[in-house]
Structure 1
Amino acid sequence: MSLSFWFFTLKLCSSLLLVGLLSRQPGLRGGLQVVQAAICSRWGTSGDQGMFQEGDVVLGGLFSLYSKPPAIDSDFTQLPHYKPCTGLENLPLQYIYAMVFALEEINHSTTLLPGVKLGFHIQDSCALPSWAMQAALSMVGGDSASCDQTVPLIIGGSSSITAQILSRILGPLAIPLMSYTASCPCLSDRLQYPNFFRTMPSDIYQARAIAQLAIRFNWTWIGAVVANNDYGLVVFEEETRGAGVCIAFVETLQRENIVTDARQAALTIQASTAKVILIFTWYTDVRELFSQLAKINVTDRQFLASEAWSTSGDLLRDPFTSKVARGVLGVAIRSSPIPGFEHFLMSLNPYDRPEDTFLKELWEKMFDCRLWATPQSTNTSPPSLQKDARPLCNGTESMEAVQNQFTDISQLRVTYNVYLAVYAAAHALHSLLSCPDTESSTRNSSVNCSSPQHINSSELLQHLSKVNFTTPHGDMFYFQGGDTPAKYDLVNWQNTPQGSAKLVLIGRVDGFNIHLNESAIQWSTGSSQVPTSVCSESCLPGTRKANRKGEPLCCFDCIQCAEGEISNQTDSLQCVHCPSEFWSNAERTACIPRQLDFLSFNETLGITLTAVAVSGATVTTAVFVVFLYYRQTPMVRANNSELSFLLLLSLKLCFLCSLVFIGRPSVWSCRFQQAAFGISFVLCVSCLQVKTIVVLAAFRSARPGAGALMKWFGPGQQRGSVCLFSFIQVLICIIWLLSGPPVPRVDLDIPGVKVSLKCTMSSVVGFSLVLGYIGLLACTSLLLAFLARKLPDNFNEAKLITFSMLIFCAVWIAFVPAYVSSPGKYAVAVEIFAILASSYGLLFCIFAPKCFIILLRPKRNTKKHLMAR
């Protein structure tokens, strides 16, 4: 709208409000009629844009009959003249005659308002708030056509914005406004709108019903096309906010720019991935939107309809609708019949109602003819109508031959709301005008009875709040504040075999409760398969939702749960850790008991280590047999046969003790394996150390003055030394096993479905002492052997001991980090490998050269050869 239009509207409203207030003073009314007529002439008189019928009480009616507002061209050189709206709509015209029919019914009633004739003053608001303000103020103040007839109540306010504006304007006058389609929840505020009533339920109920449908069918990605008002979308967003429903886009349609806005909305719908589109707007706007969608061939969307267009017959019959919108699912005002209304509509005839300009225009539109000009129309008809080339109507036309929205009474929805509004007003007037009986009134002279000529609007407001009556359909009607109880139908647009669309009732809404027959729904796909509309596909069990940065919550990625975590529901927000005794399955959907895992004799690693250990013990036994058989030879005798046999025995124990580490750990196996390992290796290393000392002592005793050295380190001392060294290890093991022995324990810290059962060191100090003592003896032996490596002997055993101890120390130095870093049973395998490797190193480095000479070079097995330098 231009600036001049709104400026003039404000000026007009203030002038008319002053007129309305002053016109209620009888002495001033005559002087103000001229001013009022001058103002109204700028808009056109009510005779051009309205209907009037006198009565004892006149009810006002405001309806949006025309869909095309006039163009306004203001140059600010003169007061603008506003031409009438064009584009007469059939359905709103039915609302008007529902009001007329209800008033005629009441006037013929002997029980409701007996002796009181109701009249009406009906005007068109062109669906523009500014026009509605002008019409409402002209009715409450009396206009040029009904100077002495003011209205105490107006039925109107077809949109929520219009109702808000009218309610605020009429509030200071305490004039009730009763709307039949305004549904904004904001109008329920009695502090702001104390004079507002409606027969249309609040949007809260239909928006909540649509939200429940979206949640029920798992539509989480929905586009929205709305009118530029508070109609529905806000409540829908509030209801779905916690249910994972996101609005993909919101396009706004304004009637002043409907073609441009509809084209933009159609392009947005085409580009969006949302397959379900929610439309909260007037049906004329939807018609233009469907036209634009058809032009760009968008035919695969599922539409959710508000009550404003879900039952529109014009849309159902529109060719664009059949192409674009199939399977529409919508909320509709509850349909109720009006007895006698069909006969009333069929009997309408402009010849019987010559003053009815709306009926005249409808008649000429339906039958494509021109009614004869009446004296009134001759004076006021514009030149375009006087040059009308259509033929004159012949008088035989009848409504019974017409099938359109005006004559269709199969589903009376808003029409019934208008009917209810008239009856609610009549019951309030009946309560207001009903006086007490004559005797009581004479005794109580203070009782004042209202008369039809002097209706007090404030008192009428109070009686409206108390209205309670039964409708012809058998429903109880009453106001809750200014609202009426919510009742809706759920409808579905379904294709017929003839190719046309029809409305099918599939459920109902009572308050906040929804009842739906899902099997009766025909979707946009033409089948019973529910369409999907999601930004991201649902995350299956075993995954979780991860929001995408900068995108709505409905757009997400599905990430598989980590090991040890599960999700057993669709669209899980997070994965849940399994208890320590359980682990996730391969699909990450359930926690399964963890399997005990240990180094067993049945697996490949266990079999391999067992074979190596047994082989080592066998070879050691074979060497023992060879040495025993050739014990009298110089090779065996020269190397201290007693210590060699003891060394071979300890090596065999080392090989065999590794077998104790294989198998299911138990309390006794855990204790025995570490003790056997520690004592066996100390015994072995002790023998080597004593042998090295013997070699050094033997060569030192050959020097002058050192002959008595071997006497102090004879066989007895050698055996005693071995026993002493071994006893120290035995003592360490006893103290360790008594204070903090190893115990079998499940290692739950290692991830995986298999959990290791192994011997856990309760006392790390004890195990460290055992290894440390072995390391001390080994290092001492290595040092002594290194010192004796260059002794002048053809067969120097110190060299062999040096190599063997180097291998021994290297193995056990590498063992420590490998053991610490290996998980579960592999730590046990590392320890077994260290035992076997060091045992094989000692066996081959010390005994392999001797066996080679004994078995393969017997000629070198002589004392002479051994003593040679």
Structure 2
Amino acid sequence: MLILVIVLNMLLVLADKPACRLQSKSKYAEFLKDGDIIIVKIHFSDMFQLAETMMFTIEEINNDTEILPGISLGYTIYDDCSSIILAIQTAMALANGQEETIYTNEICTKLSAVAIIGHSGSSLSIGSCSYIIQVSYFATCACLSNRTEFSTFFRTIPSDYYQSRALAQLIKHFGWTWIGTIRTDNDYGNGAMATFLQEVQKEGICIEYTEAIYRNYPRERILKIVDLIKMSSSRVIVAFTTAIDLEYLVKELLLQNVTGLQWIGSEGWIANKNIITAESYSVLGGAIGFAIRNALIPGLQEHLLRVKPSSATEHTVVNEFWENIFGCTMATQENTSNSNMCTGTENLMKVNNLYTDMSELRIPNNVYKAVYAVAYALHHLYLSQDNKGPLEKLNIEVNFTTRNGENVYFNEQGDTAASYELINWRLNSDGMAHFVTVGLYDASLPEGKQFVMNNFAIVWARGQKQVPRSVCSESCHPGTRKAVQRGRPLCCFDCIPCADGEFSNISDSSNCMKCPPEYKSNQQRDKCILKEMEFLSFFEIMGILLITFSFFGTCLTMTIAVIFFWHKDTPIVKANNSELSFLLLFSLTLCFTCSLTFIGQPSDWSCILRHITFGITFVLCISCVLGKTIVVLMAFRATLPGSNVMKWFGPKQQRLCVSALTFIQVLICFLWLFLSPPFPVKNMEFYKDKVILECNLGSVAAFCAVLGYIGLLSVICFLLAFLARKLPDNFNEAKFITFSMLIFCTVWITFVPAYISSPGKYTVAVEIFAILASAYGLLFCIFTPKMYIILLKPEKNTKKNLMGKISSKSI
């Protein structure tokens, strides 16, 4: 751990105050060098390289005439042993001052600390924060950006707020939605993990488990975490831990052969060479994560290699370091006979370890920047004082460029610019584990451009080249939707096929969308296709049959009309009112042909035409039949002595009757067209996969009036014909009219329920069938007997035969 303390040689006399004493004295000074300003460093025992980096930086600043001219920096280095208690104790001692002078009734202390560099741990930094400026090189907890609580804290490493967001983007980039998380159980791990969980939840990523580890946890607790990892289905683990804490977990995972998982690391361990060993690589191989930017520090290597042991007491740590490196023993007064004595001439250039390795200077570079930041702050404060009086207030708001070309400044939260390297653990050609930079993250860039992947193929867990998958449920294909499994996270779901009439055209759709009304979903349910348009077509079998019957009826009617016209002067034609007969044949021709208007795709004109022509032609037809029925009744009455009825129902009256009855229907149809005419519609409710093109009646009341009027005339005609069916003539037409009206009424009575219950084009077919059946019924019942006599029994086509009375036997 590094703590840089600026010490001023000045006394504060606390007059008229109660006696005061030092809160604590630090007892673990390892290095000491006097100077006008003293810099104090607290460190781990294995951070000898960082301590030497700090000393190198101070020497570089002292040798620079442009920074603090005439003022030299000194240092005192302490070991806090990773203890929060020792960190607080040392910080308080530095804040109080190390010297104590007692006067008569007063205690005066020498104010020594105005700035501290350190710690590397977030919890240690939080615990040792005071009113003294503190610049950390490795404390990343986002909580330290709170200026209300930590107004004097600064750092040369990015806040975990940015790293957490970067890791969340990394997880999203590779499509992992089901992950586990491990964190160190301290301010660093808990704070960073909390931010990370918030970010991944925004991206729809689910956490299968989240566990905490710490170096002093009992082994049983670590084993429970190992069992949880073994039983989990997620293949990606995000670890916000320190290297030393993760080592305990990796050791247990290695013992139980838990390998093949994809580890995502934080800067706390991903670039730490202490943890990347042959054993740990079998567990952590292929790991990727964000590390602080690497750098070169000119001249540092030469400084590190110049370190030599000494008998001086302030070099005790150096001597211990020397013994550990070369495996020898330094000569002391108590020990002079050891055969493996250190000579002090051993060559560090022949040593290849973390101390001499210059390829990874990520943390030393932060130490380098932190010392320079304090030096520049002191320099600016020194210049503002014009060399007069003490330096009363240190302003750490600096903006400078180091000798290795890196720009250093602090924002309003005391944080430096957030920039990371994405590194990948892999094996080199010699089978040794090493780091490879495969991407960059720069939080200062615009959104969407902050994360950049280099053109390096990432080596994943187990040496795989393909990105591993880590999902709770496999992706739902287009045509299905996600249905969350009860009691499980959103990432665990079943894929349910879209219902009929719905579709999804993207993977992992949460909902199926409904197709537009005129469309239906295809068989795969991944798109909508146009529904089949159903209407009675001219070219389908049903349409062809109906057209055939319609044409046949038309041709047959016209043939009968021609035969009637050819025999118009014969008694049977004259006796059956030839004028009404020809008008009836004409109306029947219209009835047969009007059925054609019901076939084909409905349009505005065809919808109007089919109903109007149907209503008018059938009224014309029934009016003619009614006229013929009345004529039969009048003719019988005319044969009675003294009767002169026929003059009241002659040809003119017959034409007037037919015209008047037909005009009523025309008036009803005109009102129908004026108020609410029929129009084409697309019926999309009856079938799910078809659109029925049909004619909406417009006014149902008008349609019922048209049918009702036809029915009324038919019933009247039937009743009159029924009354005249037994009149004593050899050829009584009333009998045939009765049969025709019976057929007509039967057809249209059965038409109503059939029309209502028939779906789609069958509704139209029922209507056409009713038209053709009733027309054929009238044609055959009324004209077949006449054609039989005209064509087959011409000898009966005489006036005498027609006027003869029916014998009583035949009655």
Residues 435-514 of structure 1 correspond to what in structure 2 (within 5 A)?
447-450=388-391, 459-460=393-394, 462=395, 464-465=396-397, 467-481=398-412, 482-513=414-445, 514=450
Q: Contact 1:159–1:181 (CA<8 Å) still a contact in 2?
A: yes
Q: Cα offset for 1:64?
A: 4.2
Change (3 A) 1:29 1:776: same
Q: Cα offset for 1:658?
A: 0.6
Q: Contact 2:737–2:782 (CA<8 Å) still a contact in 1?
A: no
Counterpart selection for 1:524 from 460, 464, 467 = 460
Q: Cα offset for 1:654?
A: 1.9
Residue of structure 1 equivalent to 2:305: 346
Residue of structure 1 equivalent to 2:106: none
Residue of structure 2 equivalent to 1:804: 743
Residue of structure 2 equivalent to 1:190: 147
What residue identity is the alignment partner of 1:469?
Answer: F
What residue identity is the alignment partner of 2:361?
Answer: L
What residue identity is the alignment partner of 1:479?
Answer: F
Residue of structure 1 equivalent to 2:235: 275
Write the deviation string for residues 119-167 of structure 1: whole angstroms up to 9, x where unpaired.
Answer: 4333333434334223333444467999989544332222223222221
Q: Cα offset for 1:745?
A: 6.4
Residue of structure 2 equivalent to 1:178: 135
Q: Contact 2:135–2:156 (CA<8 Å) still a contact in 1?
A: yes
2:28 is the counterpart of 1:46: yes
Write the deviation string for residues 54-102 of structure 1: whole angstroms up to 9, x where unpaired.
Answer: 555433323344xxxxxxxxxxxxxxxxxxxxxxxx4x34223322333
2:230 is the counterpart of 1:289: no
Change (3 A) 1:238 1:857: farther
In 2, Cα distance between equivalents of 1:774 and 1:292: 97
Counterpart selection for 1:155 from 94, 98, 117 = 117
Q: Cα offset for 1:432?
A: 4.7
Q: Contact 1:329–1:493 (CA<8 Å) still a contact in 2?
A: yes
In 2, Cα distance between equivalents of 1:311 and 1:560: 47
Write the deviation string for residues 525-561 of structure 1: whole angstroms up to 9, x where unpaired.
Answer: 6455434444455555666666666554545566667
Instruction: Give the secondary-structure state (helix, strand or coil) at the position aligned to 1:408.
Output: coil
Residues 49-448 of structure 1 correspond to what in structure 2 (within 5 A)?
50-65=30-45, 90=46, 92-107=47-62, 109=64, 111-113=66-68, 116-141=71-96, 151-167=113-129, 170=130, 174-228=131-185, 229=187, 230-257=190-217, 259-260=219-220, 262-321=222-281, 323-351=282-310, 355-356=314-315, 358-359=317-318, 361-363=320-322, 365-366=324-325, 392-395=340-343, 398-432=347-381, 447-448=388-389
What residue identity is the alignment partner of 1:226?
Answer: R
Change (3 A) 1:284 1:867: farther
Change (3 A) 1:592 1:353: farther
What residue identity is the alignment partner of 1:729?
Answer: Q
Q: Contact 2:417–2:444 (CA<8 Å) still a contact in 1?
A: no
In 2, Cα distance between equivalents of 1:849 and 1:227: 109
Write the deviation string for residues 269-311 of structure 1: whole angstroms up to 9, x where unpaired.
Answer: 4444433332211122233333444455444433322111121
2:554 is the counterpart of 1:602: no
Change (3 A) 1:867 1:306: farther
Change (3 A) 1:117 1:773: same
Residue of structure 2 equivalent to 1:832: 768
Change (3 A) 1:162 1:611: farther
In 1, Cα distance between equivalents of 2:476 and 2:247: 38
Change (3 A) 1:556 1:774: farther
In 2, Cα distance between equivalents of 1:257 and 1:858: 125
Q: Contact 2:83–2:124 (CA<8 Å) still a contact in 1?
A: yes
2:753 is the counterpart of 1:814: yes
Q: Going by fraction, where is helix more abundant, 1 or 2?
A: 1
In 1, Cα distance between equivalents of 2:544 and 2:782: 28
Q: Contact 1:258–1:285 (CA<8 Å) still a contact in 2?
A: no
Change (3 A) 1:565 1:36: closer
Q: Cα offset for 1:717?
A: 5.8
Residue of structure 2 equivalent to 1:85: none
Residue of structure 2 equivalent to 1:656: 593
In 2, Cα distance between equivalents of 1:845 and 1:866: 25
Instruction: Give the secondary-structure state (helix, strand or coil) at the position aligned to 1:817.
Output: helix
Instruction: Give the secondary-structure state (helix, strand or coil) at the position aligned to 1:235.
Output: helix
Residues 721-760 of structure 1 correspond to what in structure 2 (within 5 A)?
721-737=657-673, 741-742=677-678, 759-760=695-696
In 2, Cα distance between equivalents of 1:479 and 1:155: 15
In 1, Cα distance between equivalents of 2:556 and 2:306: 123
Instruction: Give the secondary-structure state (helix, strand or coil) at the position aligned to 1:506.
Output: strand
Change (3 A) 1:518 1:410: closer
In 2, Cα distance between equivalents of 1:570 and 1:355: 67
What residue identity is the alignment partner of 1:504?
Answer: V
Q: Relative to structure 2, which stretch is displaced further, 501-510 or 560-569?
A: 560-569
Q: Cα offset for 1:187?
A: 1.6
Residue of structure 1 equivalent to 2:6: none
What residue identity is the alignment partner of 1:475?
Answer: E
Relative to the length of structure 1, the TM-score reads 0.74
In 1, Cα distance between equivalents of 2:253 and 2:546: 77
In 1, Cα distance between equivalents of 2:707 and 2:266: 83
In 1, Cα distance between equivalents of 2:536 and 2:775: 21
Instruction: Give the secondary-structure state (helix, strand or coil) at the position aligned to 1:809.
Output: helix
In 1, Cα distance between equivalents of 2:42 and 2:384: 31
What residue identity is the alignment partner of 2:118?
Answer: G
2:779 is the counterpart of 1:868: no
Instruction: Give the secondary-structure state (helix, strand or coil) at the position aligned to 1:508.
Output: strand
Q: Cα offset for 1:337?
A: 1.6
Instruction: Give the secondary-structure state (helix, strand or coil) at the position aligned to 2:298.
Output: coil
Instruction: Give the secondary-structure state (helix, strand or coil) at the position aligned to 1:520.
Output: coil
Change (3 A) 1:36 1:30: farther
Q: Contact 2:751–2:766 (CA<8 Å) still a contact in 1?
A: no
Residue of structure 2 equivalent to 1:6: none
CA RMSD of aligned residues (A): 5.0
Instruction: Give the secondary-structure state (helix, strand or coil) at the position aligned to 1:421.
Output: helix
Change (3 A) 1:709 1:287: farther
Relative to the length of structure 2, the TM-score reads 0.79
Q: Percent identity between the aligned chains?
A: 42
In 2, Cα distance between equivalents of 1:327 and 1:103: 39
Counterpart selection for 1:672 from 591, 597, 609 = 609
In 1, Cα distance between equivalents of 2:629 and 2:231: 91
Q: Contact 2:262–2:460 (CA<8 Å) still a contact in 1?
A: yes
Q: Cα offset for 1:333?
A: 0.9
Residue of structure 1 equivalent to 2:7: none
Change (3 A) 1:691 1:297: farther
Q: Cα offset for 1:114?
A: 5.5
Report the count of equivalent residues.
Answer: 775
